[in-house]
Amino acid sequence: MQVSVRDNNVDQALRALKKKLQREGVFREMRLKEHFEKPSEKKARTKAEAIRRQRKLARKKAEREG
């Protein structure tokens, strides 16, 4: 991953880098790998995340349709 620094503006480049890392999911992955997660816990977490995504999608769809 590369971020170019223009006009010696390191702050702007740092913000761009953080945004790219956030978009790629690097921060989330680092947080998950801080400790060992049992396979049963991982399965439960992924299932809960999927349910959350579906509910959020349904909520947004209901708002659009009225």
Give residue-wise pLDDT tens across range 8-54: 999 999 999 999 999 999 999 999 999 999 999 999 999 999 999 99
pLDDT for position 63: 94
pLDDT for position 43: 97
Cα–Cα distance, 59 to 38 (Å, whole number):
31
Give the contacts of 20 (CB within 8 A, at least 6 positions apart). Answer: 1, 3
Q: Whats the size of the chain, residue-wise?
A: 66
Instruction: Say whether pTM exceeds 0.85.
Output: no
Q: Is 66's pLDDT higher than 80?
A: no
Q: Predicted confidence band at 1 (pLDDT cuts at 50, 70, 90)?
A: confident
